[in-house]
């Protein structure tokens, strides 16, 4: 069960290792692009390319879908980047349903674990496989693997590495279950937990009253999607890339320093953030020098 490109390598590695995939469940086709043509999910595209049956329920609680799912007689279900499952679905197989989550649970439970790990300046994240239960992302851990985050990594770069590493962990987990060679570990709730909520306009804005280091982490954590944004002189700009000039310098919050040609610096609290690649509303993204050739601040 999966939808985006993140889930494809996990399905692919199971096919290549000759596991019997009785069906693939993915999101319904959606209109996309200017022409609004129906577009298949990456998981569906791959599944069809290797001749796997595909189910695309709009409602996972639909009795007809659940009847069809039960008739497949799967003994294990695997979830990678899908949606929440009702208990009738996740409890259906005799072995159960396990999920691949892109964090070291219990840290960063939620919809955007990679984004928030980078946005919070973490130096390490990872992957967890765990059996599903009622509360989201809380089930018993089967296996975990760590992944370092460098100070300059973007979410896109960490995402790509975890996508590949995740496939290996899914295969390792399936083999462990097949051989009945694994221990389940309860998630440790006795620690301060960081969460990974969905990303909205409200939690992706840069606030110059924050330290430059935090805003730099937000910019790379929201790159390539959905992208950090900020208000500069009452206009909205997406901020694709930035750097820190001086992490400790104090000054008038929000003050702009620029030569109107090659650099654009903004005073934070504390520190100075240099904007490297920006995108004015309604225009394409551009490097700061290109921006100043036809615009000004």
Summarised one tens digit per residue, pLDDT across range 191-226 is 999 999 999 999 999 999 999 999 999 999 999 999
Q: By residue range, what is the domain housing residue 251? A: 212-294
| 34 and 127 part of one domain | yes
Q: Which two tokens stand for residue 4?
A: 């985006």
Asked if residue 106 belongs to a known ligand binding site, the reply is yes
| 80 and 129 part of one domain | yes
| 77 and 130 part of one domain | yes
- The band of 127, judged by pLDDT with boundaries at 50, 70 and 90, is very high
C-alpha 93/C-alpha 80 separation (Å) is: 17
Alpha helices in the chain (DSSP H): 8-16, 42-49, 63-71, 87-90, 113-119, 155-178, 212-221, 288-294
- Evaluate whether residue 194 is within a structural domain: no
C-alpha 229/C-alpha 238 separation (Å) is: 4
| CA distance from start to end of the chain | 48
- Evaluate whether residue 224 is within a structural domain: yes
* pLDDT tens digits, 37-69: 899 999 999 999 999 999 999 999 999 999 999
Does residue 104 register a pLDDT over 90?
Answer: yes
Asked if residue 270 belongs to a known ligand binding site, the reply is no
Does residue 275 register a pLDDT over 90?
Answer: yes
C-alpha 238/C-alpha 186 separation (Å) is: 41
* pLDDT tens digits, 14-27: 999 999 999 999 99
| 21 and 144 part of one domain | yes
Q: For the domain that residue 55 is a member of, what is the CATH number?
A: 3.40.50.170
Q: For the domain that residue 222 is a member of, what is the CATH number?
A: 3.10.25.10
Asked if residue 105 belongs to a known ligand binding site, the reply is yes
- Evaluate whether residue 266 is within a structural domain: yes
Q: How far is CA 172 from the centre of its chain?
A: 22
- Evaluate whether residue 102 is within a structural domain: yes
Residue 53 and residue 15 in contact, taking contact as beta carbons nearer than 8 Å: no
Residue 7 and residue 43 in contact, taking contact as beta carbons nearer than 8 Å: yes
């Amino acid at each position: 069960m999966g939808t985006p490109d993140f889930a494809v390598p996990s399905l692919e590695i199971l096919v290549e290792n000759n596991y019997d995939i009785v069906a693939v469940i993915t999101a319904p086709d959606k209109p996309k692009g200017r022409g609004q043509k129906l577009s298949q999910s990456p998981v569906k595209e791959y599944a069809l390319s290797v001749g796997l049956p595909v189910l695309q329920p709009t409602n996972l609680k639909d009795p007809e879908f659940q009847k069809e799912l039960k008739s497949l007689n799967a003994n294990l279900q695997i979830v990678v980047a899908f949606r929440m499952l009702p208990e009738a679905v996740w409890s259906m197989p005799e072995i159960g349903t396990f999920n691949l989550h892109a964090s070291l649970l219990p840290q960063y439970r939620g919809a955007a674990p990679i984004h928030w790990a980078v946005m919070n300046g973490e130096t390490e994240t990872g992957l967890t496989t765990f059996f599903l239960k009622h509360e989201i992302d809380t089930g018993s851990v089967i296996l975990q693997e760590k992944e370092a985050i460098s100070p300059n990594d973007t979410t896109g770069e960490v995402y790509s590495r975890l996508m590949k590493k995740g496939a290996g962990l899914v295969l390792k987990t399936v083999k462990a279950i097949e051989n009945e060679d694994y221990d389940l570990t309860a998630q440790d709730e006795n620690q301060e937990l960081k969460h990974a909520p969905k990303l909205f306009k409200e939690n992706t804005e840069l606030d110059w009253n924050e330290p430059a280091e935090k805003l730099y982490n937000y910019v790379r954590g929201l790159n390539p999607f959905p992208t950090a944004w900020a208000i500069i002189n009452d206009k909205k700009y997406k901020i694709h890339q930035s750097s820190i000039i001086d992490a400790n310098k104090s000054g008038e919050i929000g003050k702009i320093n620029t030569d109107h040609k090659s650099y654009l610096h903004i005073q934070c609290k504390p520190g100075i953030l240099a904007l490297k690649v920006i995108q004015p509303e309604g225009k394409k993204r551009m490097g700061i020098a290109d921006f100043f050739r036809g615009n000004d601040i």
